Amino acid sequence: MACNVADTASSFQEDGFVIVRSLLDADELAELDRQISRYIEEVLPSVPPSHKFYESGSSGPLKHFSRMELYDDFFRGCFQHARTIELAEACLGTSVEPVTSEVFYKPAHVGGPALPHQDNAYFNFLPPYGIVVWIALDQVTLANGAVHFSRGSHRLGQLPHNHTGNPLFGRSVMTTPDPIHHPKTPVLLNPGDASLHHFLTVHHSGPNRTDHNRRGFVMDYRARSAELDQRAHAEQDAYKEKILKKSGAI
């Protein structure tokens, strides 16, 4: 990782996101890719439906799976990656605790978009203080669905969200931030690069219409002072169960 930690933290605090080139070296990336393939083959079939999603509800190309640390020792250990923790704590300015690990797919040709949202609309932490570490497993381009961040939108606080009825991306901001003051910035990554963003940074991504998958491995951390909002979390779980049943995923 050839980055200045202080400069990286400063950019994160100003913009609500930052790019870190080569967070994983070639060997680390190859091992992560191998372990994800193993997880899909050996572990994912027995994972509850609420922790795996497909493009067509309960079938079709794989779209997303989460809570990997609950089911596999390798992914539980990923949270202790020293460079990741160093950057996460520098960016937030405080010690951090793991929340969950995830893999996001945008399958070739059919990968759908993600509507503008803040991650804390799903995580429900108070204060809404945490960081998402998104590591590219494949090249990320405009054509295959790069994530776009609304620069500086983390300073707007928690924004009202609509219910979308989508089994995975069930919430979307009611009003997107003013693009003059918070310009939408695409993040283009090479394999092993990472983007780090605040739980409150508004972001979205487009569809994948290319011949190749666009995959990202994600580790989410909360500030140690952040506590789960139990009421909001219960409401989120009830809503998620409702739309999963409606989609046929459970």
Query: Per CATH, which fold does 5-247 belong to?
Result: Jelly Rolls (2.60.120)
The domain spans of the chain are 5-247
The first and second tokens of residue 175, run together, are 């009003």
Question: So what's the pLDDT on residue 9?
Answer: 98
Contact 222, 125 (CB under 8 A): yes
What's the pLDDT at 57? 65
- What six digits make up the tokens of 148? 């776009």
Q: According to the model, what pLDDT value does residue 123 have?
A: 96
Question: Contact 142/188 with Cβ under 8 angstroms?
Answer: yes
Tokens of 165: 């009825």
The partner residues of 21 in beta bridges, in order of sequence, read: none
pTM (2 decimals)? 0.95
Per-residue confidence (pLDDT) for residue 243, from 0 to 100? 83
Strand ranges in the chain using DSSP code E only, listed in sequence order: 17-20, 52-56, 59-66, 96-106, 114-117, 125-126, 130-136, 147-150, 161-163, 171-173, 184-186, 194-198, 203-205, 214-223, 227-228
User: What's the confidence (pLDDT) of residue 200?
Assistant: 98
- Dist CA 199 CA 88 (whole Å): 12
Distance CA 7, CA 48 (A): 41
Stretches where the chain sits below pLDDT 70 are 1-2, 57-58, 249-250
Predicted pLDDT at 2 = 61
pLDDT at 59: 73
